[in-house]
């Protein structure tokens, strides 16, 4: 009595997975993408964090070049897996080359959001057909550095503290600081 129901369920499950795999394989034949850079930085003029993902793309289907495409970025809560935000290009974009980079950006204003994952894919202009594989990047918004330094005294009595790694911890020797030129921070 239960065998036909179970068999039908298993067959339909197999068909769904087979179609999904076929769709993904076809999309990967059209184009592949990979993450070049993924960042989340605090906004300067307002509250929130801007999430940016820069992807490399390589298009195998040259008939797509010159057409209007889109890229979709889903931002998910990494703890519970819920979709926080879905973003794409409002008007799409014309793909002019078979290889290059694309930048996607979105703003998150909820300060409670800490751990996110982004998933990006290339699609056709109306976002109904995948043109690439999906790529994922994980970001921890709680690890974002502050926009400015903590209050420094203007009279010079309280300056920045040297990093712990640059202090000599032997009590019988004088304190020394590192003068390594490779330890400078890069401004972008």
Question: Which domains are seen in the chain, by residue range?
Answer: 28-140 (2.60.40.10)
End-to-end CA distance of the chain: 68
> Mean pLDDT for the chain?
73
Residues 37 and 84 sit within 8 Å (Cβ to Cβ): no
- Mean pLDDT within 134-163: 63
Give the list of residues 6+ apart from residue 44 with CB closer than 8 angstroms, or none: 147
pTM: 0.63
> How do residues 66-88 score in pLDDT, each as one tens digit?
999 999 999 999 999 999 999 99
């Amino acid at each position: 009595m239960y065998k036909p129901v179970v068999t039908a369920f298993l067959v339909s499950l197999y068909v769904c997975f087979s179609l999904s795999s076929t769709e993904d394989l076809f999309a990967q034949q059209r184009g592949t993408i990979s993450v070049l850079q993924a960042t989340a930085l605090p906004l300067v003029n307002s509250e929130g964090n801007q999430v940016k993902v820069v992807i490399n793309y390589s298009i195998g289907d040259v008939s797509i070049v010159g057409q209007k495409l889109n890229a979709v970025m889903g931002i998910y809560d990494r703890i519970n897996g819920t979709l926080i935000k879905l973003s794409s290009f409002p008007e799409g974009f014309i793909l002019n080359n078979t290889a290059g980079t694309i930048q996607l950006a979105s703003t998150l204003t909820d300060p409670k959001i800490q751990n996110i994952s982004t998933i990006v894919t290339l699609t056709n202009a109306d976002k109904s057909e995948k043109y690439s594989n999906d790529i994922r990047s994980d970001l921890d918004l709680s690890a974002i550095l502050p926009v400015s330094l903590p209050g420094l005294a203007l009279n010079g009595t309280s300056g920045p503290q040297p990093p712990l790694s640059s202090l000599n911890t032997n009590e019988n020797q004088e304190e020394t600081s590192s003068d390594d030129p490779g330890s400078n921070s890069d401004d972008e």
